[in-house]
């Protein structure tokens, strides 16, 4: 099969032919039909993820068709259209038994702990615990947009943030996660303030439902948020992963507000001093959000259907596998709006 592969961190990415994967006894092999290109892939290529063993095939926002199953797989068969969370649970550790596979002690992550889906085929472990069948009305391209973006935003907004229709949320960073959060928040009926440094991304955020947009390059973000929300927002999300966006998110909260950290941070940003006196005085909540469990997908699919969210509206570019070596190293410089998806292998 053809794959996009690198042999050293921050080194060249090439298209190569390698052996087709085989399923483990509890796993499957999926023919990849679409795969999102994500900033997390760039973090992996940079060497920010200790789970990656070289040489490595990245890619984790996949959708496709099962073509082979392991001998102990019970719930799946060849030909089914599926996707998978970017964090897969083992099914037997304490956290999986609690239903929290997104923080599994022995998590399986395609594109990180194992070779990923910038490939014609990908092997997925713990299939019975982690695979998700796609609704008939959802195409592969839309499903790739779920990836680690829509599902992460969904759990962050609904489960961690517990956003309600009478509240206001600020979304810092209007990439895939941020744009997803905006649509989810509007589906709930909340007011949304979207913040980014790109006019193009702010424009798409407005088109997808943001009530207010703030360009952080020309405006005092915290002051603007407090003016627009009359004192601070109920929920605020750092969808980018930067010391500035994190602190702006915390400082823009009303008393007893919730900060949701979704964006990954490199070491240079992760050691920022949290304003703990403010956290204590205002009884703020600081919460992380890391993917979503497979068993929560049906609830999310129903939410998408009933609110009329069109996942395809976030997908602004499609590329071939051959173009991944060009685009992946530049992900951190990406100022264009929307999600890029590989749909030709």
Rounded CA gap, 333 and 335, in Å?
6
* pLDDT of 116: 97
> What is the Cα 269 distance to its own chain's centre?
19
Domain range list for the chain: 2-144+310-344, 149-288
Question: Between the CA of residue 60 and those of 2, 44, 124, what are the distances in Å?
Answer: 16, 11, 11
* pLDDT of 265: 82
Question: Between the CA of residue 38 and those of 118, 282, 339, what are the distances in Å?
Answer: 11, 35, 8
Cis, peptide link before residue 55, omega less than 30° from 0: yes
* pLDDT of 266: 72
Q: Beta 168-172 vs 233-238: how paired, if at all?
A: parallel
146 token code pair:
């779920």
The closest alpha carbon to 185, from 104, 317, 177, belongs to: 177
* pLDDT of 281: 98
247 token code pair:
């602190």
309 token code pair:
């969210």
Rounded CA gap, 110 and 3, in Å?
14
CATH topology of domain 2-144+310-344: Quinone Oxidoreductase; Chain A, domain 1 (3.90.180)
Q: Answer for the pair 212, 171: CB distance below 8 angstroms, yes or no.
A: no
Q: What is the pLDDT along the chain (345 residues), one digit of tens a residue?
A: 999 999 999 999 999 999 999 999 999 999 999 999 998 999 999 999 999 999 999 999 999 999 999 999 999 999 999 999 999 999 999 999 999 999 999 999 999 999 999 999 999 999 999 999 999 999 999 999 898 899 999 999 999 999 999 999 999 999 999 999 999 999 999 999 999 999 999 999 999 999 999 999 999 999 999 999 999 999 999 999 999 999 999 999 999 999 999 998 876 667 788 999 999 999 999 999 999 999 999 999 999 999 999 999 999 999 999 999 999 999 888 767 789 999 999
According to DSSP, residue 328 is labeled G
| Residue whose structure tokens are 């390059």 | 217
* pLDDT of 264: 84
Class for the domain spanning 149-288: alpha beta
| Residue whose structure tokens are 């749909």 | 343
Name 333's bridge partners: none
């Amino acid at each position: 099969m053809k794959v996009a592969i690198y042999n050293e961190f921050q080194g060249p990415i090439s298209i190569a032919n390698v052996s087709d994967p085989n399923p483990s006894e509890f796993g499957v092999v999926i023919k990849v039909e679409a795969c999102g290109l994500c900033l997390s892939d760039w973090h992996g290529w940079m060497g920010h993820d200790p789970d990656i063993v070289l040489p490595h095939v990245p890619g984790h926002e996949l959708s496709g068709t099962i073509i082979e199953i392991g001998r102990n797989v019970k719930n799946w068969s060849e030909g089914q259209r599926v996707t998978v969370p970017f964090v897969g649970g083992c099914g037997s550790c304490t956290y999986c038994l609690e239903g929290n596979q997104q923080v599994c002690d022995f998590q399986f992550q395609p594109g990180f702990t194992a070779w990923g889906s910038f490939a014609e085929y990908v092997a997925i472990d713990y299939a019975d615990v982690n695979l998700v069948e796609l609704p008939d009305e959802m195409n592969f391209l839309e499903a790739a947009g779920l990836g680690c973006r829509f599902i992460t935003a969904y759990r962050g907004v609904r489960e961690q943030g517990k956003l309600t229709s009478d509240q206001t949320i600020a979304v810092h960073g209007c990439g895939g996660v941020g744009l997803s959060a905006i649509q989810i928040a509007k589906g709930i009926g909340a007011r949304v303030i979207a913040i980014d440094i790109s006019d193009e991304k702010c424009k798409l955020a407005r088109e997808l439902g943001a009530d207010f947009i703030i360009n952080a390059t020309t405006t005092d973000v915290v002051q603007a948020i407090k003016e627009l929300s009359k004192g601070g927002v109920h929920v605020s999300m750092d969808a980018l992963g930067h010391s500035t966006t994190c602190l702006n998110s915390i400082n823009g909260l009303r008393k007893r507000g919730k900060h949701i950290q979704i964006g990954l941070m490199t070491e240079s940003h992760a050691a920022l001093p949290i304003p703990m006196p403010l956290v204590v005085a205002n009884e703020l909540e600081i919460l992380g959000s890391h993917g979503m469990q497979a068993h929560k997908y049906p609830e999310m699919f129903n939410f998408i259907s009933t609110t009329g969210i069109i996942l395809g509206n976030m997908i602004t570019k499609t590329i071939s596998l051959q173009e991944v070596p060009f685009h992946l190293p530049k992900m951190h410089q990406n100022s264009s709006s929307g999600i890029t998806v590989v749909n030709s292998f």
